Structure 1
Amino acid sequence: MILCKQEEARIQLNVEQADWRDDTDDGELEDQELEAHYMYMAQLQENDDNDLTNERELLASLIEKLKCEIDESKNRNKFWKHQRRF
């Protein structure tokens, strides 16, 4: 940033500064920033996918447990209905 300001003010850059400026291409920085952004978004998506997978597994487990409890409840009700008849 300072180098850009110096250049805009037409202040002579030393050789090292000029080399650094030439080596640092704005397009390259934008590409790096864009790549970092895409990597970050991919990481978020991967985390979301993992969370969804875990949530699906948890819900499937809960559904299975509820089905078992419903079956047990139906069996108890049948047993008690049968017991009342006698």
Structure 2
Amino acid sequence: VARECQKLKREKDAAYHREKMLLCKQEEAGIQLNAKHADWRDDTDDDELEDQELEAHYMYMNVITDSLDMSDDREEIDQNDDDNDLAKERELLASLIEKL
């Protein structure tokens, strides 16, 4: 029976990314990695997938936020147009009343 190893997730700070970059460069140069770093690519693939999912989520949320902002702007513009129309109507009525 295969057991899945439950590793703790490492925080993805600058040191994490620096280490991954160095391991990638070592692999490209053909340097043999020690046992500790031998499974780094498996970890990286999962991390990259997770990063891509987060990036897609944030992009989606930005689009929704922008759409809501545009909708709010449109409502504000419509309200301003209505206010301007009412102001013009009041001025017209006031001028007609003065002429009577």
TM-score range, shorter chain: 0.5 to 0.7
How many corresponding residue pairs? 80
Pick aligned residue for 2:84 from 60, 66, 69: 66
Unaligned runs of 5+ in 1: none
Letter in 1 for 2:93: N
Per-residue CA distance 1:51-71 (angstroms, 9 max, x = gap): 111112211211221122122
More helix per residue: 1 or 2? 1
Q: Give the 5 Å matches for 1:19-58.
A: 19-25=39-45, 29=48, 31-58=49-76
In the other structure, the counterpart of 1:6 is 26
Tell me the percent identity. Answer: 35
Provide runs of 4+ in structure 1 moved above 4 Å: none
TM-score scaled by structure 1? 0.67
TM-score scaled by structure 2? 0.60
The root-mean-square deviation of aligned C-alpha atoms, in Å, is 2.4
